[in-house]
Homo-oligomer: A and B are copies of this chain.
């Protein structure tokens, strides 16, 4: 089975590496060619153009956002190059609207479109420890299942309409951002009452919130260690916009998502887009003027 992979950022490189490690022949492409070198050294073939990586049985893509995917897939000729009967597995977090549109465009060309967004950071991707959501035609999903098992620790089938996987992925990222905002406000409340953020979060993530998401982001907030970003704040903002767009298309009010939007905009306006998205906590601290309070108590 010939496999293609387009989009070799940190996540894409990790996933492609797992496919190589499972002894699959892989043709890769990336806009910036340097990202292909490490995989070529491990046996991948570097395509000269994106469309070349699409002449395969299964094409995986992991591109940054709707615009990047449209540019490569539609304007870049990749969809046109996909053979009839092939499968396109898209790992990216894209809008529900684009997922619906792509399902139709692929069907017209006799290509199966499978949405397979993932939960996990680059290190989990490299270790094959992602959680993989998957939705699409049942036969197509069955066909790519061994590939998905090679990249993830768990597989979550979500039906035949691809956009269903995107809705769940978007909902999950929304809930992560909400957890960050909750920790942000809680720690600012604590600090204003003289309780260190680390002390407060040690109790809460040691009792009610003993989940990795709370522990990891809680540590970053307590230590104010936002660089290098595990997940960049500007991407967290992008996903919040996807949440709001998915809500608007079905007329769903989401007040908490609205708060996240304003918090992310505030952070972006302050130049923090490349920090980890847990830097949302700095917004809450600024609004309460915490820095200044600390300064006032210096000798």
Residues of A within 8 A of B (CB): 96, 119, 131, 133, 154, 156, 158, 161, 163-164, 167-168, 170-172, 174-176, 178-179, 181-183, 185-190, 192-195, 199-200, 203-204, 206-214, 241, 243, 246-248, 250-259, 261-263, 265-266, 268-271, 284, 286-289, 292
Contacts of A252 in B (CB 8 A): 185, 188-189, 192, 265, 269, 288
Give A262 to B106 CA distance when docked, in angstroms: 34
- Contacts A208-B119, A254-B185 given: A289-B262 contact, CB under 8 Å? no
Select A167's contact among B154, B158, B195, beta carbons within 8 Å. Answer: B195
Q: Is the CB of B183 within 8 A of A168?
A: no
Contacts of A243 in B (CB 8 A): 189
Q: Is the CB of B259 within 8 A of A261?
A: no
22 A-B residue pairs with CB within 8 Å? A133-B203, A154-B206, A161-B194, A164-B194, A164-B195, A167-B190, A168-B200, A171-B189, A171-B190, A172-B208, A175-B208, A182-B256, A185-B255, A189-B247, A193-B246, A251-B289, A256-B259, A262-B287, A266-B288, A269-B287, A270-B292, A287-B287
Q: Is the CB of B213 within 8 A of A209?
A: yes
Q: Is the CB of B288 within 8 A of A253?
A: yes
Kindly report how many copies of this chain are found in the complex they form together.
4
Give A154 to B189 CA distance when docked, in angstroms: 24
Contacts of A154 in B (CB 8 A): 206-207
Select A251's contact among B156, B171, B192, beta carbons within 8 Å. Answer: B192
Majority SS of interface residues in chain A? helix
Minimum Cβ distance to chain B for residue A256 (Å): 5
Chain B residue at minimum C-beta to C-beta distance from A171 = B186
Which of A168, A195, A287: most chain B Cβ within 10 A?
A: A287
Q: Is the CB of B254 within 8 A of A262?
A: yes
Q: Is the CB of B174 within 8 A of A185?
A: yes
Give A265 to B188 CA distance when docked, in angstroms: 13
Select A182's contact among B164, B174, B200, beta carbons within 8 Å. Answer: B174
Q: Is the CB of A192 within 8 A of B250?
A: yes
Contacts of A178 in B (CB 8 A): 178-179, 181-182, 256
Give A165 to B119 CA distance when docked, in angstroms: 35
Give A203 to B152 CA distance when docked, in angstroms: 14
Q: Is the CB of B262 within 8 A of A253?
A: yes
Give A214 to B214 CA distance when docked, in angstroms: 12
Closest 3 CB pairs of A and B: A258-B258, A211-B211, A178-B182
Chain B residue at minimum C-beta to C-beta distance from A210 = B211
Minimum Cβ distance to chain B for residue A239 (Å): 13
Give A263 to B251 CA distance when docked, in angstroms: 10
Contacts of A192 in B (CB 8 A): 247, 250-252
Which of A158, A176, A185, A243: most chain B Cβ within 10 A?
A: A185
